[in-house]
Structure 1
Amino acid sequence: MIILTGNDLKTGAVVWWTGRAWSLQVDDAVDVGDQADAIARTEEAARHVNVPYAIEAEQTGDGVRPAHIKDRVRALGPTVRPDLTLKPADSEAGNWVI
């Protein structure tokens, strides 16, 4: 599974491509397959997101999980403080689509 991530230009928040827009929740990310570069160029040119890039991920029982630890931290929060981890059902995590 290939998904897109980047940073929102207005807030700097980490965002994930949903197929139509950008979301703060990695679980909203969709497999973009071989369209990753085209989508990233279009979204960056439209100034919706800063430096979008494709990453490998997998769909698990817990949701979409990036393959690399760097992107898992971007998606789920710190690894040393579970109380700070972003949770999809957490109203404080900002469940909104950009």
Structure 2
Amino acid sequence: MKLLTGNDLPTGDVIWWTGDGWSRHIEDAADVGVAGESILQAEEGARRVNVPYLIEATATADGPRPAHIKDRIRALGPTMRPDLTLKPADPSAGSWVI
């Protein structure tokens, strides 16, 4: 599974491509598959996202899980201060352990 991520231009927040827009929540992320590069170029060209890039992820029952620790930290927040982690849109949604 491939995900498209980047940073929101006005806020700097980490954002994830949903298939028709962007979300701050990784559980909303859509698998971009082979279309990822063209979506990336279109969104960057339209200046809707800063420094977009594709990542590998695994589909789980709780939603996408980035393959690399760097992207898991980007998705969920700091590892040392759990009080600062980004909470899921649905608090009852699965495990949010990095």
Please report the TM-score for the alignment, with normalisation by the length of structure 1: 0.86
**Residue 13 of structure 2 aligns with which residue?**
13
Report whether the alignment pairs 1:26 with 2:26: yes
Aligned-partner SS, 1:15: strand
Aligned-partner SS, 2:16: strand
* Number of equivalent positions: 91
- Unaligned ranges ≥5, structure 2: 92-98
**Residue 2 of structure 1 aligns with which residue?**
2
Moved over 6 A (4+): none
Aligned-partner SS, 2:87: coil
Q: Give the Å deviation of 1:36.
A: 0.9
Structure with the larger RCO, 1 or 2 (CA within 8 Å, 6+ apart)? 1
Please report the TM-score for the alignment, with normalisation by the length of structure 2: 0.86
Q: Give the Å deviation of 1:82.
A: 2.3
CA gap of 1:30–1:90, structure 2 versus 1, over 3 A, is: closer
Question: Aligned-pair RMSD on alpha carbons?
Answer: 1.5
- Answer yes or no: is the 8 Å Cα contact 2:4–2:55 preserved in 1: yes
